[in-house]
Amino acid sequence: MLDPELRDELLARMDRDQRLRLSLPVGEPLSADLLDEWERVDTGNTAFLKRVIAERGWPGRDLVGEKAAQAAWLLAQHADRDREFQRRCLDALRDAVARGQATPQQLAYLVDRVRVGQDLPQVYGTQYRDTPDGGFGPHPIEDPEHLDERRAAAGLEPHAEYDRLMRRHDQG
């Protein structure tokens, strides 16, 4: 049964998250105020999602609708300050995907985010970073020869397409 109050709160939190991230200056250092705000938003969203999952389980499509289910995934994706919780979200999201309550694409992104947080190679090539040589590119990828097969199985575009998009985005 749809929970409109939870749906609206998830959407509001996603909106704030995205407004903040989209306001970040490209290629410039972040101010202390912006860093503080970023930490407040992510910490608050993580605490909120923890409560939701503890009380209701993963907020999937049936509970909050498609867009708010996407918002729940985004909050988990950005819970980098609590890696243990992020790993628990991965288990909950796997179950939600199996029940048709979340997408395989969301799972692929969170798998990679958790692996990168553990200093392991990513599986789907979704996570990018500034490289030590001053460039921009993906975190290390496990078994790159079969990357596009894994991406296709998760419903993701070929990595070359995604790479072009990520590099264009990095340039502002």
Residue 102 has pLDDT above 80, yes or no: yes
Residue 106 has pLDDT above 90, yes or no: yes
Residue 77 has pLDDT above 90, yes or no: yes
**3 state SS of 158:** coil
What pLDDT is attached to residue 30? 82
Residue 172 has pLDDT above 70, yes or no: no
Are the C-beta atoms of 102 and 62 separated by less than 8 Å? no
**Strand intervals (E) in the chain:** 128-130, 136-138
Tokens describing residue 136: 């921009």
**3 state SS of 137:** strand
Distances (CA, A) of 122 to 78, 83, 115, 149: 16, 15, 6, 14
- The packing angle between helices 66-77 and 4-22, to 10°, is 50
Q: Mean pLDDT, the chain, as a whole number?
A: 95
C-alpha–C-alpha distance, residues 115 and 74, integer Å: 16
pLDDT in tens, 26-63: 777 888 998 999 999 999 999 999 999 999 999 999 99
C-alpha–C-alpha distance, residues 161 and 153, integer Å: 16
